[in-house]
Structure 1
Amino acid sequence: MQRYGSYHYDAVKKSGQTLDSMQDAAIDSYGPANQTTTITNHHINLSAAAGKVNPNNPLIPKKWHLKTVPNYTRYAAFRASGAQYMLYQGNTVNIDSPSTFTFFSTNMRKSNTLTRPKGITVIGNRFTSRNIDYPFRIFAGISDPYTTNGITISGNTIQILGTINNYYRTLIEVHEVPITVNGKPSYYTTDLLSVTNNNILTKNISTLVTGASISKKDTLKLLFLNNNTLNGKTYQISRNYIGTTLKALSYKNNALQRTIIWNADETKTKYIRVTNLFGKAITSEIALTKTKNPTITFKTKLTRGSLIKIQISEVKGNYTNASTVFFKVP
């Protein structure tokens, strides 16, 4: 990045392609061979150039006679494109630069073999930046109900000293990916995102999770929010193109309760049940329809400290392709 960013700009400019930006990451896992990988206890630190732009960016206007310095070459910590069953744990990231793009992003790999991200867990890390464009970006993630499910961001400490520069000032932005087949566009969405137990420290945030959609349809089917805090206070705000959001999960007096938020354009009936860790049903199935009463209750006796699964399906009695949320009984 420090050595070749301006050359990348030159190559794209000369090819006639549309200029966007370059954000190769410090630890970059790309392609279908990146599976079942643990990235733990690394230190990504940009302190020698604290507060300075990427040195490639001032080189670009000199060569191309531009009036302003483009924010073309930007820093990223982790990128997982086409990666599956990845664990990012116990890492420390400190990128103090106006050219900081993202802490973590994951996307589908479209070249040669189409591979979509799934089973990715980002847990127990510390992220620090002054200004940043998109702290976390998720594209086209899919679920695997039999193992680690969807995309999980949990138990991280995230500190942003300056500004979050995206439009909604959101911590996590979920995008769809447009694909054109036989002249017709189709869109790959994300099945499930779980955001739990994160400690966020910033004064410049408007929403925790935002769905960003080109098609104006849901870009995230199911969002699970639980026990996130902003500057020490509970913070569970999401907005835009998210089909269903599960919030405020609690268990007391042999009752498991949850709050469900429906997207304005959601019309489908969904079905929900609770199982043990091995998939055996603990409760009967409940049909979820859009209602003014957002809280549902399962009357069931659960063991403190046990791990259970909450499954949501759009097919009655069939949970093969369900979105599955893991929950530890308090």
Structure 2
Amino acid sequence: MKKRILLLLSFAMVLMGGLLIQGANAKAATLNLKPGTTTEIKAHNTQALQNAINTSKKPITIPKGNFEVVGSIILKSNVTLVGATTNPADSKITLNNGPMTTETGKGVTTVNNLHLRNFTLQYNANMPKYDFQKHNVHVYQSNLLEIGAVPKAEATANYHAVYKKPTKNNIQVQNMILNANQVGSAALSIAKATNVNIANNQILNSGLQSGITASYTDGLRIDGNTVKNSGRSGISLYQGNGSAKAPVYIRNNKVIDWMERFGGYHYNAAKAAKIAPDMMLDGGIDSYGPANNYVYTIGNTVSLQKENNKRIADNQKTEQKWGVKNARYVGYTGIRGSGIAHAVYQNNTVTINSPDAISFMTFNLRLRNTYTAPKYILVEKNKFTAQNISFPIRIFGGASDGSLASGITIRQNTFTINGDIPTYYKTLIDVREKTETISGKLTYFGTSLVTVTGNKITSKNVKQIVAGTPIRKLPVVDTLYIGQNTLNAKPFQKIGGYLDTVIQLPTYKKGIISGGIMRSFTDTATKTIQLRDTAGKALTKPIALKKGPIVNFALKPFYSPKPKVLWITNKVGTKSVTKKVPLYLF
């Protein structure tokens, strides 16, 4: 009897388990998609996918295969789209004449809790592509995957803080292949969003714009992606991204080949408008600005697929179409920080072996209704390598708030230049005066505070580590701290012209502050230094410095063991100017 009861119980459990499995399978939203390219199949797939997005309460599984759709696929809140396996190449959605987007074209939409993972999204490779040798207009302009958008009225009005109102929240794009096949604009565009995670994707072959581009977005994490063959930048922060409470993190990505298509388009548009074309120098990892704040760019690799002597194709096409000789209207910049503040660039590797290499890094102010100057910038422990490079690091209009960390600090980096710096002064860090027109008036901007310490340079051609390049023959850098740099393993602190106050990093020992004041060859001022506290009370007597390339000093404060401010008076003729300089004590 007991054996019979046990047998019946076992049978019942097996039956219930089978029913549960069937129930679970019945609830799984695996799409009924069909392979093929006929009009009927595309229409069927489009309807099946869109209906599932509109109605499903469960994750939607895209089966194995390549499935073509037509028109735009509109994404909604609380939708999860996943591939059949963890290999994103197994499940493919091929778009033919519309993007996958959150936008309906009927006003700004609100989308929350959107998750995409484990499948391929691609444009049909046979869709029209822009070629400036053949076309005068951008033939197809949609992004491949578009999450959020900036309305046209806001986009044409330049940056306004009031436009930074999130309409998208909790967005995840993970383990995807996004292949635009050089069609349209960006491969992945994010706008007006918060809490966005873009991780471990392959972002391939964008159209004219960037692999990943973001606008008005906070809490953005771009981690572990491979971004390859981009029309413009690999990863681009357009404007208004990041905040103190919700920073932007760009970490451990590989950016390979950028500026592949946009430069020729830009040149062609300028020629068609009969204006002089300017250079296109967007970075592999780029801040366009303004108002990109609290950005952490860490552990990324920026490089070219062809390691040696890769030219930018659009320069060659420009030569062919317009008869230009040795065109260099498009150039490689590894990382650009335009209109960025409160940013860390750490442990990145930038390798650009190309005749079109312009800069490893560039920082410049940006004015687009709001003014953002580079400040609170740390460039630390990065590895830069090139054969030839014109301006290894360039700075235009860097600002400072007078605190120890508020300027631009470049320290403990490795620079390897195996060939030449093909510019006259062969300067590692070129700081340039910047102009902007404000209220109809031309305004000039120098750079307030730069610190260059502990960098290791390997090069046969570097002649000076920092120099100013002015427009008005006035000092470009207000205060420069320098020290502990080496060139080919030997101490190297040689500076160029147009630097106002240059201080060798002071040391503090047994109550005495020791350091040196250096002079650029354009500095003719008589100098006096004095320690004071932050309230302006004297801690030492004023000391007049003799003229010379470097004058050492030793100051013992009356009190206050580590004062924070060094007062320096510069006198030229009868004009005397005293300024407060933050005192770095290492």
TM range (shorter): 0.7 to 0.9
Match of 2:539 in 1: 284
Residues 468, 476 of structure 2: 8 Å contact kept: yes
Residues 174, 210 of structure 1: 8 Å contact kept: yes
The aligned amino acid for 2:383 is R
Higher strand fraction (1 or 2): 1
Aligned counterparts of 1:288 and 1:14: Cα–Cα separation in 2: 62
Match of 2:297 in 1: 39
Residues 450, 481 of structure 2: 8 Å contact kept: yes
> How much does 1:274 deviate?
7.5
* Selected match of 1:140 from 397, 408, 421: 397
> How much does 1:49 deviate?
4.8
Classify 1:274/1:129 alpha carbon distance in 2 versus 1 (closer, same or farther; 3 Å).
farther
User: What is the DSSP-based 3-state SS (H/G/I as helix, E as strand, rest coil) of the residue aligned with 2:268?
Assistant: helix
* Selected match of 2:311 from 32, 53, 64: 53
Aligned counterparts of 1:192 and 1:16: Cα–Cα separation in 2: 40
Shifted more, 263-272 versus 155-164: the winner is 263-272
Aligned counterparts of 1:229 and 1:213: Cα–Cα separation in 2: 26
TM-score normalised by L of structure 2? 0.50
Aligned counterparts of 2:337 and 2:268: Cα–Cα separation in 1: 26
Match of 2:352 in 1: 95
Aligned counterparts of 1:180 and 1:287: Cα–Cα separation in 2: 40
Which runs of no fewer than 5 residues in structure 1 stay unpaired? 316-320
Aligned counterparts of 1:314 and 1:82: Cα–Cα separation in 2: 32
Whether 1:188 and 2:445 are equivalent positions in the alignment is yes
Aligned counterparts of 2:307 and 2:381: Cα–Cα separation in 1: 26
Mark the structure with the bigger radius of gyration: 2
Q: Map Cα deviations across residues 5-52 of structure 1 (whole Å, 9 max, x no partner).
A: 211111122222222311100111122431111110011121425212
User: What is the DSSP-based 3-state SS (H/G/I as helix, E as strand, rest coil) of the residue aligned with 2:366?
Assistant: coil
Classify 1:266/1:180 alpha carbon distance in 2 versus 1 (closer, same or farther; 3 Å).
farther
> How much does 1:256 deviate?
2.1
Classify 1:287/1:46 alpha carbon distance in 2 versus 1 (closer, same or farther; 3 Å).
farther
Residues 47, 96 of structure 1: 8 Å contact kept: no
> How much does 1:254 deviate?
4.3
Residues 60, 69 of structure 1: 8 Å contact kept: no
Classify 1:216/1:226 alpha carbon distance in 2 versus 1 (closer, same or farther; 3 Å).
same
Residues 228, 236 of structure 1: 8 Å contact kept: yes
User: What is the DSSP-based 3-state SS (H/G/I as helix, E as strand, rest coil) of the residue aligned with 1:119?
Assistant: strand
Aligned counterparts of 2:289 and 2:528: Cα–Cα separation in 1: 33
Classify 1:83/1:325 alpha carbon distance in 2 versus 1 (closer, same or farther; 3 Å).
farther
Aligned counterparts of 2:317 and 2:566: Cα–Cα separation in 1: 52
TM-score normalised by L of structure 1? 0.86
The aligned amino acid for 1:79 is R
Which runs of no fewer than 5 residues in structure 2 stay unpaired? 1-258, 571-578
Match of 1:80 in 2: 337
Match of 1:115 in 2: 372
Residues 505, 585 of structure 2: 8 Å contact kept: no
Aligned counterparts of 2:557 and 2:564: Cα–Cα separation in 1: 13
Whether 1:13 and 2:268 are equivalent positions in the alignment is no
> How much does 1:248 deviate?
5.7
Residues 264, 314 of structure 2: 8 Å contact kept: yes
Aligned counterparts of 1:150 and 1:259: Cα–Cα separation in 2: 20
The aligned amino acid for 1:284 is L
Match of 1:318 in 2: none
The aligned amino acid for 2:321 is K
Match of 1:63 in 2: 321
Higher helix fraction (1 or 2): 2
> How much does 1:72 deviate?
1.4
Residues 530, 566 of structure 2: 8 Å contact kept: yes
Aligned counterparts of 1:286 and 1:83: Cα–Cα separation in 2: 40
Match of 2:472 in 1: 215
Whether 1:4 and 2:4 are equivalent positions in the alignment is no
Residues 143, 323 of structure 1: 8 Å contact kept: no
Whether 1:24 and 2:282 are equivalent positions in the alignment is yes
Whether 1:162 and 2:416 are equivalent positions in the alignment is no
Residues 149, 323 of structure 1: 8 Å contact kept: no
Aligned counterparts of 1:74 and 1:327: Cα–Cα separation in 2: 39
User: What is the DSSP-based 3-state SS (H/G/I as helix, E as strand, rest coil) of the residue aligned with 1:36?
Assistant: strand
* Selected match of 1:149 from 400, 406, 409: 406
Aligned counterparts of 1:311 and 1:29: Cα–Cα separation in 2: 34
